Amino acid sequence: MLARYNRLRGRRVFFLTGTDEHGQKVEKAAAARGKSPKEHADDMVKNFQGLWKELNISNDAFIRTTDREHIKTVQELLQKLWDKGLIERRTYSGWYCTPDERFWTEKDLINGHCPECGREVERIEEQNFFFLMSRYQDTLINYIEKNPGCILPDTRRNEVLGFLKSQPLGDLCISRPKKRLAWGIPLPFDEEFVTYVWFDALVNYYSALGYLAPETNWWPADVHIIGKDILTTHAVYWSAMLMALEMELPGCIFAHGWWTVDGQKMSKSRGNVVHPGETARKYGVDAFRYFLLREIPFGLDGDFSEDAIITRVNTELANDLGNLTTRTFTMIKKYFGGKIPQAEMEPEMKALAFGIPDRIEDALDVLQFNKCLEEVWKLVSFTNKYIESNAPWALAKSGDMERLGTVLYSSLEALRLLAIFLYPFMPASMAALWKELGLAETIENLNFDEAVKGAGLIAGTEIGEFKALFPRIEKEKKITKEIEKKMEPKSPESPELVREPAAEENLINIEDFAKVELKVGKILEAERVQGSNKLIKLQVDTGEKRQVVAGIGKAYAPEDLIGKTIVVVTNLKPAKLMGVESRGMLLAATGPDGTLSVLTLHREVAPGSRIK
């Protein structure tokens, strides 16, 4: 999405992805399949490259760390560090985790297991080479503190600073003896050893530029997008390596969270692994892409469920955007013979639409994809309300064709702009919409600024025959045999028909429920309560500005809450939490794994609206 967006803005983009293929776990996995490590890697690469194509990923290059040019670059950088006296040979003993390919000290272990993956470790003592990473501890701390955007989200930046400040930074073992591991890049200064897989893998960001990029002046990277489980290797190991090589650090290292399934971590043993290709085929590639970037703030963990994706597709894509498209096209066909009327865009709608690019830019600077989509959806919601309030069908009936032309032209122009804003998220669907609007230039080749604020749709152009962008998804009805048995008709003599219902506990009547005042609230400000890692102080618009203190700080960063539309109990007696007054309570739910989720509204509802 970032690559497509920045290309639309006319910026130079080099989008790199790929596979790191060396290391002990690859060697073991290959042996288990009866293949060589390279043959095993070749199979994995086919899977990834096939999936990238299926998901319509627009990467400019795909690097493999078994590429000859990459291996050469790794050895050149190792030699530089060796020549600078920043690599030493020592005897080392420690606990080794094969899946993570990392050594751990005794105090690092948790109940004798790897602190990262929880698996068993083995005791190893051997000669190895060490990168003198400890020399860069203070330099790293100073750099991160002076460059607050270098690690995002802020919670991850604080995590790295906490790691660096809480303990001495050790030196990094960057080799493995060939007698224990043959599958790796040989050290240029000692052929009996291969390179530690993380030193090899991290170099890919730089090495690819030498032989896969069309130009040579790409470094440093603007952003590395990584999983949160490899934050330390990137923010500490990679940064220290670059400092030692006197190379610039990447502009940002962004660590995303994990997807759980129905509140549980994905696991083959649980049988709840979601295959992205299968899911995309079931719901549509663009709908799947939209869901993944809309459902949660990027950086946090999120829960994937069939119900969640169906709800997003039906409410936002089928209802909001899909219906807007279908009825606008239908009315242009019906009232203007399928040709764009001569008119200008409604000033209020134009002002809203023309402000979206700046707000998108602000959100994407910190990879807040969900906020970007929230901004775009304001135009979707506005246009739907605009059609309802102006009632084109009534204008046609009264014969006011001039006003009707303005209303439908404005709605069609809104769709043109929405196609541009949403193209990076849903490229195939928006390219199709763009084509049916009768526009000559292909959407991927347009000049963003000119297209948004320049000339709009041309009067008299004939629009295409448009099909539903996103058909509604009907939920599958799952009826078990046990339920079916209960649903079987009973004979008149059946005692089950006359049995008194069992008394149910904790029931309240409607009068009790009516005492609870639930209102829609929009979060205006959020900050942590001093001295607490759990409490967040919120300023919420519930028709009036009120302060609410909520214990959600472990699940959400304050900046991720601003702008959310939530549900607030507004008639609770004020209470003080750690000395801070709270006038209300927001609604939230806890999943089976303890993950907290704040209840939010999917559609635009005015703050202060009563929930009934």
CATH number at 122 reads: 3.40.50.620
Q: Measured between alpha carbons, how far is 426 from 520 in angstroms, rounded to an integer?
A: 30
Q: How large is the average pLDDT for residues 31-38? A: 95
Q: Are 425 and 1 in contact (CB under 8 A)?
A: yes
Q: Which of 436, 453, 470 finishes a domain?
A: 453
pLDDT (0 to 100) of residue 503: 44
User: What are the helix (H) ranges across 55-124?
Assistant: 68-83
Q: Is the pLDDT reported for residue 481 higher than 70? A: no
Say which CATH number the domain at 551 has: 2.40.50.140
Q: Is the pLDDT reported for residue 494 higher than 50? A: no
pLDDT (0 to 100) of residue 506: 57
Q: How large is the average pLDDT for residues 504-526? A: 76
The pLDDT > 90 percentage for the chain reads: 64
Task: Tell me the DSSP string of 309-377.
Answer: HHHHIIIIIIIIIIHHHHHHHHHHHHHHTTB--S----HHHHHHHHHHHHHHHHHHHTT-HHHHHHHHH
Mind listing the pLDDT tens digit for each residue in 190-207?
999 999 999 999 999 999
pLDDT-derived band at 502, boundaries 50, 70, 90:
very low
pLDDT (0 to 100) of residue 611: 85
Q: Is the pLDDT reported for residue 467 higher than 60? A: yes
pLDDT (0 to 100) of residue 597: 82
Question: Looking at the structure, do residues 236 and 317 belong to the same domain, yes or no?
Answer: no
Q: Does the residue 282 lie in any domain?
A: no
pLDDT (0 to 100) of residue 530: 78
Q: Does the residue 274 lie in any domain?
A: no
For 89, 186, 273, 550, 610, the CA distances from 598, given in Å and listed in that order, are 52, 51, 25, 10, 18
What burial class does residue 476 get, using C-beta atoms within 10 Å of its C-beta: 0-12 exposed, 13-18 middle, 19+ buried? exposed
CB atoms within 10 A of CB 421: 24
Question: Looking at the structure, do residues 115 and 224 belong to the same domain, yes or no?
Answer: yes
Q: Does the residue 300 lie in any domain?
A: no
Question: Looking at the structure, do residues 322 and 243 belong to the same domain, yes or no?
Answer: no
Q: Is the pLDDT reported for residue 545 higher than 90? A: no
pLDDT (0 to 100) of residue 515: 77
Q: Which residue has the higher pLDDT, 193 or 524?
A: 193
pLDDT (0 to 100) of residue 592: 54
Tell whether the torsion through CA atoms of 71, 74, 78 and 79 is positive or negative.
positive
Q: Does the residue 225 lie in any domain?
A: yes
pLDDT (0 to 100) of residue 24: 87
Amino acid identity, residue 175? S
Question: Looking at the structure, do residues 440 and 372 belong to the same domain, yes or no?
Answer: yes
pLDDT-derived band at 591, boundaries 50, 70, 90:
low
The whole-chain average pLDDT of the chain stands at 89
Question: Looking at the structure, do residues 100 and 204 belong to the same domain, yes or no?
Answer: yes
pLDDT (0 to 100) of residue 564: 84
Question: Looking at the structure, do residues 21 and 166 belong to the same domain, yes or no?
Answer: yes
Mind listing the pLDDT tens digit for each residue in 35-45?
999 999 999 99
Q: How large is the average pLDDT for residues 571-599? A: 82
Q: Is the pLDDT reported for residue 479 higher than 50? A: no
Q: How many residues does the chain have?
A: 612
pLDDT (0 to 100) of residue 98: 79
Q: Determine the structural domain holding residue 438 and report its residue range.
A: 307-453
Mind listing the pLDDT tens digit for each residue in 87-120?
999 987 888 887 777 778 788 888 889 987 888 8
pLDDT-derived band at 610, boundaries 50, 70, 90:
confident
Across 140-154, 170-184, 420-434, 569-583, least confident range: 569-583
Question: Looking at the structure, do residues 182 and 113 belong to the same domain, yes or no?
Answer: yes
Across 207-216, 411-420, 586-595, least confident range: 586-595
Residue of 602, 276, 601, 311 whose CA lies nearest to 474? 311
Question: Looking at the structure, do residues 212 and 322 belong to the same domain, yes or no?
Answer: no
Mind listing the pLDDT tens digit for each residue in 202-221?
999 999 999 999 887 899 99
Q: What is the pTM of this model?
A: 0.75
Q: How large is the average pLDDT for residues 23-31? A: 91
Question: Looking at the structure, do residues 249 and 356 belong to the same domain, yes or no?
Answer: no
For 72, 159, 240, 379, 396, the CA distances from 113, given in Å and listed in that order, are 36, 22, 27, 52, 73
The pLDDT > 70 percentage for the chain reads: 92
pLDDT (0 to 100) of residue 371: 96
Residues forming a β-bridge with 303: 260
Q: Measured between alpha carbons, how far is 162 from 540 in angstroms, rounded to an integer?
A: 31
pLDDT (0 to 100) of residue 595: 66
pLDDT (0 to 100) of residue 106: 82
Q: Is the pLDDT reported for residue 139 higher than 60? A: yes
Q: Does the residue 291 lie in any domain?
A: no
Q: Does the residue 198 lie in any domain?
A: yes
Question: Looking at the structure, do residues 48 and 130 belong to the same domain, yes or no?
Answer: yes
Q: Is the pLDDT reported for residue 140 higher than 70? A: yes
Mind listing the pLDDT tens digit for each residue in 58-96?
999 999 999 999 999 999 999 999 999 999 999 878 888
Q: Does the residue 30 lie in any domain?
A: yes
Question: Looking at the structure, do residues 445 and 564 belong to the same domain, yes or no?
Answer: no
pLDDT-derived band at 427, boundaries 50, 70, 90:
very high
Whether the bond between 214 and the residue before it is cis, its omega within 30 degrees of 0, is no
Q: Which of 413, 428, 453 finishes a domain?
A: 453
Question: Looking at the structure, do residues 410 and 520 belong to the same domain, yes or no?
Answer: no
Instruction: Give the 3-state secondary structure of residue 539.
Output: strand
Q: Which of 256, 276, 298 finishes a domain?
A: 256
Question: 427-436 and 285-294 are packed helices; what angle lies between their axes, rounded to 10 degrees?
Answer: 120
Q: Is the pLDDT reported for residue 387 higher than 70? A: yes
Tokens of 187: 């050290």
Residue of 62, 51, 60, 252 whose CA lies nearest to 150? 252
pLDDT (0 to 100) of residue 511: 65
Q: Is the pLDDT reported for residue 495 higher than 50? A: no
Q: Does the residue 467 lie in any domain?
A: no
Q: How many domains does the chain have?
A: 3
Report CA 387 to chain centroid distance, whole Å.
32
